[in-house]
Copies of this chain bind each other. A is one copy, B any other.
Amino acid sequence: MESLDITEVARRAGVPASTLRFYEEKGLIASIGRRGLHRLFGAGVLERLALIALGRAAGFSLDDIARMFSPDGQPSIDRQMLTAKADELDRTIRQLSAMRDGLRHAAVCPAPSHMECPTFRRILQAAASGALGPRRKTRVRSP
């Protein structure tokens, strides 16, 4: 059976080795053994890491993702959860679209100050009322 060392997995999956150790500690991935102290991973870990990346991209937390794997290691993903997350994404997308349109307008608005632009003030109103939720920045993958 093909086995990969941590550096190889890191290279192929595009994540740092430290992340792999962290994921293992969290129970998100498992090594198939050791050569001395050094971890050995099976090829399946790459698919597993892809699933994790997918979950992260969809906005699930690592804990959510951990719960999506049944104890036998097979992914067992609740379809309702997927729908719920899709709905959530829909809401987020609508908010972001409105925000993008507002920004685009503000960028070209001829009003001398943004405060004098009715469109800007309307968006401001929406933000103040909390209709637009605050967002967290997307984490940049380290280079």
Cα A135 to Cα B61 in complex, Å, equals: 9
Tell me if B139 and A134 are in contact (CB < 8 A): yes
Query: A136 and B133 in contact (CB under 8 A), knowing A83-B107, A106-B77?
Result: no
Tell me if B85 and A103 are in contact (CB < 8 A): yes
Tell me if B51 and A124 are in contact (CB < 8 A): yes
Report the copy number of this chain in the oligomer: 2
Judged by a CB distance under 8 angstroms, whether A1 is at the interface is no
Judged by a CB distance under 8 angstroms, whether A37 is at the interface is no
Cβ of A77: which chain B residues have Cβ within 8 Å of it?
106, 114
Tell me if B57 and A124 are in contact (CB < 8 A): no
Tell me if B54 and A132 are in contact (CB < 8 A): yes
**Which one of B54, B99, B108, B129 contacts A58 once the chains associate, using CB atoms below 8 Å?**
B99
Judged by a CB distance under 8 angstroms, whether A32 is at the interface is no
A:75-109 near B, CB below 8 Å: 75, 77, 79-80, 82-83, 85-86, 89-90, 92-93, 95-97, 99-100, 102-104, 106-108
Tell me if B133 and A135 are in contact (CB < 8 A): no
**Which one of B57, B79, B93, B99 contacts A57 once the chains associate, using CB atoms below 8 Å?**
B99
Tell me if B79 and A108 are in contact (CB < 8 A): yes
- Per-residue B-contact encoding for A29-40, CB less than 8 Å = 1, 0 else: 000000000000
Closest 8 CB pairs of A and B: A136-B136, A50-B128, A57-B132, A54-B127, A82-B107, A89-B100, A86-B103, A56-B134
